[in-house]
Amino acid sequence: MDEETLAAATYLIDTQHLGQGRGTDLLGVSLSTTDRVGHAYGTQGPEMCEQMHRLDRALGTFLDRVAQIPGGALVVLTADHGGSDFVERIAARGYPHAHRIDNAPLSAVNDRLRDQFHLADSPLHSASSGLIVADKDDKALPAPLRDQVIDAALPLLRALPDIVFVEARDRLLQDPMPDTRNPEMLTVRERMRLSAVAERSADIIMIRAQNVTGGGRVGGNIAGHGTPWDYDRRVPIVFWTPGAQAQERFLPIRTIDIAPTLAAVLGLSTPSLEGRAIPLWPEADAAPESGR
């Protein structure tokens, strides 16, 4: 799939004459096979090795074509998330704490809540990064019952094994937004505050310990992502232009720094942004002509 996507991107460069006009052209390319392979086979097996080999070769061919653009080019490569291998192989390789859990503890919490509030159905339903409080038709419970169920659920969920963080979304949203300039210093609560969105995030934010996951099946998804842990949060960020001197920055930057960096390269003024422009290459080094 990635080879075909890059072939389509090359076709656009050639047919639309990108980088050859008076203005700046922007071409966005999404390469998704690494994500699909990681979910289905994990990140540390022969399948991912094959994917990395094919992607590296395809990107090399594509960058060779980009280097020929008369107006010059700047390439930015990053990812929307990281990932980890499936927990069974992690455990076999020396991390015995890595394991897959079942839903029995959550079922017991639902049993308690049904009895306490005389509910016909379980009120807690699994969702991304937490739990939704709803009826069997996924409709939100009416007030004040919803808040009462959440208040009763929090101490029960915090007592479960392998759970390291539990908080009501609405309470988490009351926290101030943390300073993200040193992302490696953020606490788990601060990381989850950055991810919480009113009326979009789960009603209860719940995080498992590192390398502890639920669900999954062979033939489907055996590995996932979406946790606040660094193996999911950290992504590569590469700026490349033909002929520039290679450098490696070991201090972390953020994906929100990409846009202001591109604006600085292009000489564009921007509104107030949280991200910062990253100095790239000295002026003597190769850089895109007119930022095209």
Cα(13)–Cα(27) distance, integer angstroms: 8
Domain edge (last residue) among 231, 250, 266 = 231
Q: Assess whether 144 and 81 both reside in one domain.
A: no
In which domain, by residue range, is 72 found?
A: 2-85+236-291
Q: Assess whether 107 and 212 both reside in one domain.
A: yes
Q: Assess whether 107 and 173 both reside in one domain.
A: yes
pLDDT band at 283 (very low <50, low <70, confident <90, very high): low
Q: Assess whether 48 and 74 both reside in one domain.
A: yes
**pLDDT digit string, tens, across residues 62-89:** 999 999 999 899 999 999 999 999 999 9
- φ/ψ (deg, to 5) at 115: -70, -45
Q: Assess whether 103 and 210 both reside in one domain.
A: yes
pLDDT value of residue 290: 43
Q: Assess whether 18 and 39 both reside in one domain.
A: yes
Query: Domain count of the chain?
Result: 2
* Average pLDDT across the chain, whole number: 92
Q: Assess whether 61 and 179 both reside in one domain.
A: no
- What is the value of pTM for the model shown? 0.86
257 pLDDT exceeds 80?
A: yes
Cα(182)–Cα(287) distance, integer angstroms: 28
Whether 93 maps to a domain, the answer reads: no
Q: Is 79 exposed, middle or buried (0-12, 13-18, 19+ CB in 10 A)?
A: middle
Q: Assess whether 167 and 240 both reside in one domain.
A: no
Contact 195, 209 (CB under 8 A): no
pLDDT band at 165 (very low <50, low <70, confident <90, very high): very high
